[in-house]
């Protein structure tokens, strides 16, 4: 029976996986090279915002089933199964994934393994990586690949009640061990899909490529709707009733960002090129470009409302995180728009319910408000760029009392246009007349 698990890398994926595995009753030891992060987690504090994770973390610590360390030697002594959950960012100046953290984690672990164990990769990697890494492990270790499918804002739910579990294996014992590790999920009906290494690696990037394509498709339709004076929200609603299409990820607006979709589709293109299959994914380049064009169009709409220039004008920006229920600002469309407007001469004040600290550190030249009202005070135009519930529920009359001019651009199609227009606002949105 498997009882002891380790999790190498305690970022977003690793911290969530460690806490949730302890919640399932396993003894778990989490490792990270960042001593500050380890200290925070050991004290029951999550270094990022993820709804519902902190109580799970604290229950694991209080039970004694969850601990954290910076020592690979301790990890090797402790664990029967080692989950590698380190990041794979985009290489600077390239599309390809940067695998140095994955390579370093495998090398450090391989150097201290001295008994039979299973090593499980969960990082999002280019196809072919698992086979290469398997050769770097000692004979005592068997490798499996088990991609993650977490959604920020729903990570605890997605870990404890996943919609599928995918494992890439080459040896029977690895499959059997992972079936035992995930028995609580499979007993509840979660599909358990067994593949080879390459297929398991492709599942994650293929899923992200499909989701990105769906988002960019409806945003391409928004471009057409703007030219034709049509309403992309009604178009999306009509499409969503087709069972073959569905409504998920068909919300028109400012597009996708974050630490997964943008870098994953670029790394997918880069890897396809290395394999000689670059033509298969050329469409993803246009998916990426459509996504970036929405940010440019958002800036244009705001500039039009201000008569053609941001110089000397005040802009209130609501949202900094790339999506609601997160403090993640990586490749955030909201911050990208805010920075672009500042560079074009606007005085920009930003507010986000959770991402203020990260935004201030990343973009210290922007101004920041302590509330939505504070951010839009004396603004000549208000931009809604992250669809937090508190922004969707704003009272247009109350907001109208503090702005300099009642101009608003709804970058997420999250507001009721008629309600805002009835309150005297000049309302514009992406893809709508």
Write out the two tokens for 113: 């393994």
Q: Within this chain, do residues 110 and 13 fall inside the same structural domain, yes or no?
A: yes
> What number is the average pLDDT over the span 351-379?
98
Q: Within this chain, do residues 154 and 233 fall inside the same structural domain, yes or no?
A: no
Residues 152 and 326 sit within 8 Å (Cβ to Cβ): yes
- Residue-wise pLDDT for 392-421, tens only, equals 999 999 999 999 999 999 999 999 999 999
Residues 89 and 258 sit within 8 Å (Cβ to Cβ): no
How high is the pLDDT of residue 1? 61
How high is the pLDDT of residue 262? 97
CA distance 2 to 126: 29
Domain of 52, in residue numbers: 4-195
CA distance 368 to 230: 35
CA distance 267 to 270: 5
Longest dimension (CA), the chain: 72
* Own/partner pairs, 39-43, CB within 8 angstroms, 24+ separation: 41/10, 41/15, 41/68, 42/67, 42/68
Query: What is the average pLDDT score of the chain?
Result: 97
Residues 412 and 253 sit within 8 Å (Cβ to Cβ): yes
Percent of the chain with pLDDT over 90: 99
Helix (H) or strand (E) holding 40: helix 35-42
CA distance 121 to 399: 49
Helix (H) or strand (E) holding 290: helix 282-305
What lies within 8 Å, CB to CB, of 243 at 6+ separation is none
Q: Is 381 helix (H, G, I), strand (E, B) or coil?
A: strand
Torsion of CA 308, 309, 314, 316, to 10 degrees: 60
- CATH code assigned at 40: 3.40.50.720
- Helix 232-240 vs helix 197-228: crossing angle, to nearest 10: 130
Predicted confidence (pLDDT) at residue 366 exceeds the cutoff of 80:
yes
CA distance 157 to 53: 10
How high is the pLDDT of residue 171? 77
CA distance 429 to 416: 11
Residue 316: strand pairing partners? 349, 382
Q: Within this chain, do residues 151 and 251 fall inside the same structural domain, yes or no?
A: no
Residues designated as active site = 260
> What number is the average pLDDT over the span 29-56?
98
What region does 214 belong to: left with phi over 0, alpha with psi -120 to 50, or beta?
Answer: alpha
Q: Within this chain, do residues 230 and 162 fall inside the same structural domain, yes or no?
A: no
Query: 352 falls in which pLDDT band (50, 70, 90)?
Result: very high
> What number is the average pLDDT over the span 153-164?
98
Final residue of a structural domain among 163, 195, 227 = 195
Predicted confidence (pLDDT) at residue 157 exceeds the cutoff of 80:
yes
Write down the H helix ranges in 85-145.
100-110, 129-134
Helix (H) or strand (E) holding 77: helix 72-78
Q: Within this chain, do residues 186 and 266 fall inside the same structural domain, yes or no?
A: no
Write out the two tokens for 284: 């993803």
Asked whether residue 201 is domain-assigned, the answer is no
Q: Within this chain, do residues 214 and 189 fall inside the same structural domain, yes or no?
A: no
Final residue of a structural domain among 195, 226, 248 = 195
Residues 358 and 330 sit within 8 Å (Cβ to Cβ): no
Q: Within this chain, do residues 181 and 219 fall inside the same structural domain, yes or no?
A: no
Q: Within this chain, do residues 184 and 232 fall inside the same structural domain, yes or no?
A: no
Which residue shows structure tokens 């900094």?
320
> What number is the average pLDDT over the span 121-131?
98
Final residue of a structural domain among 125, 160, 195 = 195
Q: Within this chain, do residues 317 and 169 fall inside the same structural domain, yes or no?
A: no
> What number is the average pLDDT over the span 16-21?
98
Asked whether residue 204 is domain-assigned, the answer is no
Q: 281: which DSSP letter?
A: G
Asked whether residue 389 is domain-assigned, the answer is yes
Please state, as a whole number, how many other Cβ atoms lie within 10 Å of the Cβ of residue 274.
12
> What number is the average pLDDT over the span 192-200?
98
Q: Within this chain, do residues 265 and 177 fall inside the same structural domain, yes or no?
A: no
Q: Within this chain, do residues 277 and 402 fall inside the same structural domain, yes or no?
A: yes
Asked whether residue 203 is domain-assigned, the answer is no
Asked whether residue 200 is domain-assigned, the answer is no
Write out the two tokens for 374: 């504070």
Query: 321 falls in which pLDDT band (50, 70, 90)?
Result: very high
Asked whether residue 42 is domain-assigned, the answer is yes
How high is the pLDDT of residue 172? 77
120 vs 1, 198, 293, 371, CA distance in Å? 17, 14, 38, 43
Q: 97: which DSSP letter?
A: B
Q: Within this chain, do residues 116 and 247 fall inside the same structural domain, yes or no?
A: no
Residue of 196, 208, 170 whose CA lies nearest to 287: 208
Residue of 285, 268, 273 whose CA lies nearest to 97: 268
Q: Is 133 helix (H, G, I), strand (E, B) or coil?
A: helix
Give how many domains the chain has, as a whole number: 2
Asked whether residue 368 is domain-assigned, the answer is yes
Residues 396 and 338 sit within 8 Å (Cβ to Cβ): no
Separation of CA 320 from chain center: 14
Asked whether residue 25 is domain-assigned, the answer is yes
- Residue-wise pLDDT for 71-122, tens only, equals 999 999 999 999 999 999 999 999 999 999 999 999 999 999 999 999 999 9
Length of the chain, please? 433
Using CB atoms within 10 Å of the CB of residue 175, give its burial: 0 to 12 exposed, 13 to 18 middle, 19+ buried. middle
């Amino acid at each position: 029976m498997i009882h002891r698990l380790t999790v190498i890398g305690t970022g977003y994926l690793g911290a969530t996986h460690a806490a949730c595995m302890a919640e399932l009753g396993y003894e778990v030891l989490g490792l990270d090279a960042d001593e500050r992060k380890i200290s925070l987690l050991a004290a029951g504090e999550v270094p990022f915002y993820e709804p519902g994770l902190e109580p799970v973390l604290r229950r694991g610590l209080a039970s004694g089933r969850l601990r954290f360390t910076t020592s690979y030697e301790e990890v090797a002594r402790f664990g029967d199964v080692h989950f590698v959950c380190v990041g794979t960012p985009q290489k600077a100046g390239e599309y390809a994934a940067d695998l140095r953290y994955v390579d370093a984690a495998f090398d450090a672990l391989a150097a201290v393994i001295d008994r039979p164990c299973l090593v499980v990769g969960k990082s999002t990697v280019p196809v072919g990586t698992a086979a290469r890494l398997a050769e770097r492990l000692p004979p005592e270790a068997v490798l499996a690949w088990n991609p993650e499918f977490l959604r920020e804002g729903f990570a605890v739910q997605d870990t404890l009640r996943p919609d599928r579990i995918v494992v890439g294996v080459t040896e029977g014992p690895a499959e059997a061990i992972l079936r035992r590790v995930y028995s609580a999920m499979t007993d509840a009906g979660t599909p358990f899909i067994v593949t080879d290494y390459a297929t398991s690696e492709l599942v994650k990037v293929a899923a992200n490529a499909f989701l990105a394509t769906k988002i960019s498709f409806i945003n391409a339709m928004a471009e057409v709707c703007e030219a034709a004076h049509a309403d992309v929200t009604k178009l999306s609603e009509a499409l969503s009733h087709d069972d073959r299409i569905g409504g998920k990820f068909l919300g028109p607006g400012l597009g996708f960002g974050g630490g997964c979709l943008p870098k994953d589709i670029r790394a997918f293109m880069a890897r396809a090129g290395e394999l000689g299959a670059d033509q298969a994914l050329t469409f993803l380049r246009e998916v990426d470009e459509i996504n970036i064009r929405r940010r440019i169009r958002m800036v244009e709409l705001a500039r039009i409302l201000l008569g053609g220039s941001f110089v000397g004008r005040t802009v209130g920006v609501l949202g900094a995180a790339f999506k609601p229920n997160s403090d993640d600002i990586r490749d955030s469309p909201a911050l990208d728009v805010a920075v672009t407007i500042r560079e074009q001469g606007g005085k920009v004040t930003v507010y986000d319910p959770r991402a203020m600290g990260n935004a201030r550190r990343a973009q210290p030249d922007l101004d920041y408000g302590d509330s939505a009202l504070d951010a839009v005070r004396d603004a000549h135009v208000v931009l809604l760029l992250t669809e937090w519930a508190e922004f969707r529920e704003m009272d247009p009359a109350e907001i109208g009392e503090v702005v300099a001019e009642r101009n608003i651009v709804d970058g997420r199609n999250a507001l009721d246009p008629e309600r805002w227009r009835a309150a005297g606002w000049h309302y514009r949105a992406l893809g709508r007349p």
